[in-house]
Amino acid sequence: MSAHSQTLRKPFPANNLARLGWVALAVYTIYALSALDITWDRFVMGLGNGAEFLGEMIPPNFERWKLLVENLIETVEIAIIASAFGITLSLPIGLMSARNLMPAWATWPARTVICVCRSFHPVIFAILFVKAVGFGPMAGILTLIFASIGFIGKLFAEAIEEISLKPVEACKAAGAPFLSVLIYAVLPQVLNRFIGFATYQFDANMRNSTMVGIVGAGGIGGTLFAAFQRFDYDFLCTILLSIIGLIMISEYLAVKVKAVFND
The DSSP annotation for 85-96 comes to HHHHHHHHHHHH
Under the banding of pLDDT at 50, 70 and 90, the label for residue 262 is low
Question: CA distances (Å), 118 to each of 1, 123, 124, in order?
Answer: 59, 12, 11
Q: What is the mean pLDDT of residues 93-102?
A: 88
Q: What is the mean pLDDT of residues 35-40?
A: 84
Average model confidence (pLDDT) for the chain? 84
Residue scoring higher pLDDT (143 or 37): 143
Residue scoring higher pLDDT (14 or 149): 149
Q: What are phi and psi of 177, to 5 degrees?
A: -70, 170
CA-based R_g, the chain, Å: 25
Under the banding of pLDDT at 50, 70 and 90, the label for residue 28 is very high
| Under 8 Å between Cβ of 157 and 114 | yes
Q: What is the amino acid identity at position 73?
A: I
Report d(CA 213, CA 222) in Å as an integer: 5
Report d(CA 14, CA 26) in Å as an integer: 19
Question: In this predicted structure, what is the pLDDT of residue 24?
Answer: 94
Under the banding of pLDDT at 50, 70 and 90, the label for residue 23 is very high
**Of 26-30, 54-58, 152-156, 162-166, highest mean pLDDT:** 26-30
| Under 8 Å between Cβ of 202 and 79 | yes
Query: Taking the domains of the chain in order of start, what are their residue ranges?
Result: 64-262
- Write out pLDDT tens, residues 110-168: 999 999 888 888 888 888 888 888 888 888 899 999 988 988 888 888 888 888 888 88
Q: What is the mean pLDDT of residues 178-202?
A: 85
- Return the CATH class of domain 64-262: mainly alpha
| Under 8 Å between Cβ of 126 and 143 | yes
